[in-house]
Homo-oligomer: A and B are copies of this chain.
Amino acid sequence: MAGIIDVAREAGVSTATVSRALSGKDYVSPETKELVQEVANRLGYVPSSSAYTLVTGRTRNIGVVVPYVDRWFFSTALETIDRELVKAGYDVTLYNLSSGDAHRESVFTNSLPRKRFDAVLCIAVKMTDEEMAALNKVNKPIVSVGGLLEGAHCITINDSAAGQLATEHLLAMGHTQIAMIGGGSTDEKLFSVFDERREGYETALKLAAIKPRSAWYKQVNKYAISEGYSAAKQLLGDPHNSPTAIFASSDELAVGAMLAAKDLGLSVPDDVSIVGVDNHELADFFGITTVDQNVTGQAELSVKTLLKMLDNPTEDAEMVVDWPVELVVRSSTTRVRAKD
């Protein structure tokens, strides 16, 4: 556990010189610089981050807040966020809100304000006003990806537009009997992307002069294949009113829908067209047409934004980035077949 004093003594210089030589922030003669580096290296000197933080106020640490880590959107985003931040020399402290309300509160009142980080990055966490206030009190940059957060820089897709795009694709293929699989917004931790995607779906229908049928909206509890499967079975098994197309508000739901169709002996896309949202790995495998939201790209941008704010604390424009979505057409959608 060699400290800066050991290095200084061993190199025959002062601690200040060691500090300068190692940080490179000030002029030191090339020879002493090299000498100091050699000695520090030999002694295995690693500066104490707490001492550094105490005196500079900087932590080289970013707090990342997530509602869950074991779900697709979050683990995907976290993967690239952590990687990019590590590349930039920052550590990442992970605050997982899934431990329940009591601990959630303690995260906001204790852990977060402990001056343990230089900035906060939220992955689709919906926060109460008090929580935002607690965060703002520490006066550090806040960036949100996957959801709008008042007072923060945000990167997010327009979920309504995504829903509309998916539905319009189906309409353009001649479909008029289009069902949707989405969900209710029961989870308070999350943004109501389900609702917004549904809004887009209904907008598209209305623009095509089609009245949305409430029976064709199937509500599920989570983004899981199993949920999509049972919802689609309901929809497609109906003897009188089965749709010719399904808009699933996530690719995992779409996969479930596709499996349900197959199990019913229906062919995708000939008997039923299916479109999802996300561009999940599975959508590629199953050939599902989807609305790509490029989570990795969003995550990268969120880190870039954060780093820029850290370098330029002055300009704090209230920036909201509307990340573009893109339709990826694969083999799960086709023109509606001619009537029998």
Contacts and interface: CB of A to CB of B under 8 A. Distances in A.
Given A79-B70, A91-B93, A50 B46 contact: no
The interface size bin for chain A is: 35 or more
B46 A93 contact: no
A237 interface: no
A303 to B, nearest CB: 12
A78 B83 contact: no
A78 to B, nearest CB: 5
Given A111-B91, A115-B48, A226-B285, A86 B82 contact: no
A282 B103 CA distance: 30
27 contacts: A44-B137, A46-B115, A47-B114, A48-B54, A49-B116, A50-B50, A50-B54, A50-B115, A51-B54, A64-B94, A68-B79, A69-B69, A69-B75, A70-B76, A70-B78, A79-B96, A82-B94, A83-B96, A83-B98, A83-B99, A91-B93, A91-B111, A92-B94, A93-B94, A224-B281, A226-B281, A226-B284
Interface of A: 44, 46-51, 53-54, 59, 61, 64, 68-70, 75-76, 78-79, 82-83, 86-87, 91-96, 98-99, 103, 107, 109-111, 113-116, 137, 224-226, 229, 262, 281-282, 284-285
A46 B114 contact: yes
Contacts of A284: 226
Contacts of A48: 54, 114-115
Nearest to A109: B46
Given A54-B50, A79-B98, A281-B224, A91 B116 contact: yes
Contacts of A285: 225-226, 229
A218 to B, nearest CB: 17
A95 B86 contact: yes
Contact of A49 (B64, B86, B115): B115
Among A109, A116, A284, residue most surrounded by chain B Cβ atoms (within 10 Å): A116
A226 B285 CA distance: 6
Nearest to A79: B70
A125 to B, nearest CB: 14
Nearest to A54: B50
A136 to B, nearest CB: 13
Contacts of A83: 96, 98-99
A114 B46 CA distance: 6
B59 A82 contact: no
A125 B326 CA distance: 36
Contacts of A98: 79, 83
A223 to B, nearest CB: 12
Q: Which of A49, A92, A93, A225 has the most CB of B within 10 A?
A: A49
Given A49-B114, A50-B50, A54-B50, A79 B69 contact: yes
